[in-house]
Amino acid sequence: MKTRAVRLYGKKDLRLEEFELPQIKDNEILAKVICDSLCMSSYKAASQGSDHKRIPNDCDVKPVIIGHEFAGTLIEVGSKWKDKFKVGDKFSIQPALNYADSPVGVMGAPGYSYQHIGGDATYVVIPNEVMELDCLLPFTGEGFYPASLSEPLSCVIGAIHANYHTTPGSYVHQMEIVDGGKMALLAGVGPMGLAAINYVLHREDRKPGLLVVTDIDQTRLDRAATLYTVDFAASRGIDLQYINTSKFTNVIEELRAISGGTGYNDIFVFAPVAPVVEQADALLAFDGCLNFFAGPSDPNFKATLNFYNVHYEYTHIVGTSGGNTDDMKEAIKLMSAGLDPAGLVTHVGGLNAVIDATLHLPEIPGGKKLIYNHVEMPLTPIVDFAAKGQTNPTYAELAKICDRHKGLWSTEAETYLLEHSENL
């Protein structure tokens, strides 16, 4: 089976190549990848090459396939797994294997560490350890892009589950955000911030009473407020406020006032910017938990921390990177039940667009960049479909479909693209 894939050979050395996959073993599965959503983690991996903890040192001679937020269908199942999986099953993959006996090491992950599996490929061989760790996850919902985006959603689910609180005099950590408490998402209207807002508003078992979302980009704040409205949040018992902190003279003072003067029980930082981290630290309530979600590219990234408050106010920090398999299963369950992550997607493209988009991801505005691996298409903002439609009827129809869905991507748009991509 031939595959086309984007492979990493070293720092900023990505190549789109066609090559032969090996015949699957009895404990492996052959899969067709339909789509992959690009992640800043792939940009970091491509920028750092073998210096990245998940990239093998010999990637220059054994290149790895990038992309870890992918979905598709199974097309050949090895005998070991025939009782659990069948040809035609739709799937997503939890890439964070954390498998000590993995042939690519404990930090090994699809999309970083393997020669024959990654999201930016047309066909892949799923290795035995993925199934052994229950990381090949069936998806029964509509379409494919929700399954692809279940991975980033699982990351924010994991972050929210990882927060914890304490009781003075007790050494037991109470995991989770404070139910009915005060939560802030700082720099919170990028792709992962939007995923967090979506999850918080749709969660049934636990939610904050106050949710403050900040940024300095009014356009992004306005888009978030359109997607996840204050009125809908109120119907869920949540006081949602979108705040442009660039308009404040004293950010700490004014955000603390919004909390009623107490500060926030749970704060999530979605940008690796030292002043934002320090702002979060200053806004913590008694026993407040700061979750540093945004992974920095700089290994020497630092920010100051108020240790007086750590000692006397019980403030504390956690950092999360990815979710676990249970988080991924929760995400897929929510997707299958109708939670639509389309608000994250602002650009759509084909496999031919991956290299340039990945290497310039921080410079491309908007949210998630969704790639369809069997499509040849430049990375295109959804808002540009109508303009392109003036000379191409396929783009024109995609624009009409997106307009019917409030300007968002949808399974209807996905189906149309897959059936008419040859006309692009």
Pairing of strands 284-292, 264-269: parallel
| Angstrom distance (rounded) from CA 283 to CA 237 | 23
pLDDT the model gives residue 156: 94
User: Quick one: residue 159, left, alpha or beta (phi over 0 = left, psi -120 to 50 = alpha)?
Assistant: alpha
Residues 6+ apart with CB under 8 A from 281: 290, 303, 304, 305, 306, 309, 315
What's the per-residue H, E or C state across 128-139?
Answer: HHHHHCCCEEEC
130 near 80, Cβ under 8 Å? no
| Angstrom distance (rounded) from CA 284 to CA 301 | 21
pLDDT the model gives residue 99: 65
Per the prediction, the chain carries an average pLDDT of 94
pLDDT the model gives residue 104: 61
Q: State pTM to two decimals.
A: 0.86
Architecture of domain 153-319 in this structure:
3-Layer(aba) Sandwich (3.40)
Per-residue confidence at 108, pLDDT binned at 50, 70, 90?
confident
Q: What is the pLDDT of residues 155-209, one digit of tens each?
A: 999 999 999 999 989 999 999 999 999 999 999 999 899 999 999 999 988 999 9
Phi and psi dihedrals of 334, rounded to 5? -65, -40
| Angstrom distance (rounded) from CA 376 to CA 34 | 13
Is pLDDT of 70 > 70? yes
Half-sphere exposure of 181 (CA within 13 A, CB side): 22
CATH topology of domain 2-138: Quinone Oxidoreductase; Chain A, domain 1 (3.90.180)
Is pLDDT of 322 > 80? no
Q: What is the pLDDT of residues 346-385, one digit of tens each?
A: 999 999 999 999 999 999 988 899 999 999 999 999 999 9
pLDDT the model gives residue 329: 92
Q: Which of 124, 126, 115 lies closest to 9, judged by CA?
A: 115
258 near 268, Cβ under 8 Å? no
Coil/strand/helix, residue 101: coil
| Angstrom distance (rounded) from CA 204 to CA 194 | 18
Phi and psi dihedrals of 13, rounded to 5? -110, 85
Pairing of strands 29-37, 2-10: unpaired
Please state the domain extents for the chain: 2-138, 153-319, 352-423
pLDDT the model gives residue 44: 93
Rounded to an integer, the average pLDDT of 98-120 is: 81
Half-sphere exposure of 297 (CA within 13 A, CB side): 12
